[in-house]
Structure 1
Amino acid sequence: MTKYRLHYFNARGYAEVTRDMFHMAGVHFEDVRYELEDWIKEGSTTKETMPFGQMPVLEVDGEKIPQSAAIARFVANELGFAGKSPVEKAWADAFADLYKDFLNEMKPWAMIAFGYPGQSGDRGELKKTVLDPARKKYFKLLSKTLEKSKSGFLLDSGICYADLMFFETTTSLIGFESGFLGTDFPAVTEYFKRIGEHPKLKPYLETRPVQPK
């Protein structure tokens, strides 16, 4: 049996989508969590053991795979969350790329809101000029896709790793901006509710550690 070890900080962040899929598939993995203080402390050699000197990293029978998107895509293909046909797999990847576009567009706001050192700017102003326009743009695109979906998710065959990407980030954003989800995109609101209540995901969501801020 394949042995999986997922290395990441003691937070959701870039590893949570992969954790979601392991739990949904009922596949055992070792959830190796690191405290940031231990990662950056003088004399620590942990970074040197990671292929690119960063995390998350997924070990598959001892082989270390870096980069969150590569890890999520690999696990999705292994566990059945990447689409059922070549065309669906391409669409899953396209939605994952769309998700990365969303992250890039909201980044100036996120750098301030999440407290990254050395950043300057007014959070409230950046919400209006950066976060809100990005939200509107991508929620429109999600709504358009969901209107045509046969499953209620991005792919007609059912939930995929890209659904989880949008869900996890939106869940985190609601923690920073309580009104982020809003009421102007009802299809998107129902979509995220559907993901959160997915019978294979809900038990994990109800028991996972509280997200540190």
Structure 2
Amino acid sequence: MAKYRLHYFDARGYAEVSRDMFHMAGVEFEDVRYNLEDWIKEGSTTKETMPFGQMPVLEVDGEMIPQSSAIARFVANQFGYAGKTAVEKGWADAYADLYKDFLNEMKPWAMIAFGYPGQAGDRDELKKTSLDPAREKYFRLLTKGLEKSKSGFLLASGISYPDLMFFETTTSLNVLEPGFLGTDFPEVTAYFKRIGEHPKLKPYLETRPFQPK
């Protein structure tokens, strides 16, 4: 059996979707967490050990795989969360790209709300001009996808890695912007609740430490 080590900061962030899938699959992995201050301090050589000088990185029997989306796809394909047919796999990747579009469209607000250093702007105004329009657009697209699949998830065969991408980010947004989920998209509200109560995921969600992002 392969030996897995997942390298990331002590946060959910870009690694949590892959952590979710390891726990759902019941596959052992070493969850290697780094302190941000140690990562950025002068003289630290940790970045040099990572292929692209950033994290997350998944180590598989000593081979280092960078980039969060590539890692999530790899883990999903390994453990059955990437779709059951070639067409479903294509749709899973399409929804993952849609997720990245969502992140990009809400980025002006997120850079302020998530506390990235050196960012300027009015958070409330950016909510109106970037977060709210992104939410409206993507919740409508998620509703359309759920109506098409009829499984309660984005793919007809069941839960997949893009479901977890949208779920984890929405979990953070509900903390940083209370009321983000709202009640005007009932299918989406039920969808996120369904993911959180998935029998293979719920035990991990109930035991992981609370982290806002």
Q: 2:5 matched to 1:5?
A: yes
C-alpha distance in 2 between matches for 1:212 and 1:178: 12
Q: 2:205 matched to 1:172?
A: no
C-alpha distance in 1 between matches for 2:97 and 2:178: 26
The alignment yields a C-alpha RMSD, in angstroms, of 0.7
Aligned residues: 213
Structure 1 match to 2:58: 58
Structure 1 match to 2:26: 26
C-alpha distance in 2 between matches for 1:83 and 1:147: 17
Q: Is the 8 A contact 2:143 2:188 kept in 1?
A: yes
Cα 1:195/1:212, change in 2 over 3 Å: closer
TM-score of the aligned structures, taking structure 2 as reference length: 0.99
User: Residues 1-213 of structure 1 correspond to what in structure 2 (within 5 A)?
Assistant: 1-212=1-212
Report the CA distance between 1:210 and its aligned residue: 1.3
Cα 1:212/1:43, change in 2 over 3 Å: farther
CA shift digits 1:160-182 (9 cap, x unpaired): 00000000000000010011000
Partner secondary structure for residue 145 of structure 2? helix
Report the CA distance between 1:212 and its aligned residue: 4.8
Partner secondary structure for residue 158 of structure 1? coil
Identical aligned residues as a percent? 85
Report the CA distance between 1:151 and its aligned residue: 1.2
TM-score of the aligned structures, taking structure 1 as reference length: 0.99
Partner secondary structure for residue 134 of structure 2? helix
C-alpha distance in 2 between matches for 1:113 and 1:150: 34
Q: Is the 8 A contact 2:50 2:64 kept in 1?
A: yes
Consecutive unaligned residues of structure 1, counting only runs of 5 or more, are: none
C-alpha distance in 1 between matches for 2:29 and 2:150: 32
Consecutive unaligned residues of structure 2, counting only runs of 5 or more, are: none
Extract structure 1 runs of 4+ deviating beyond 2 A.
none
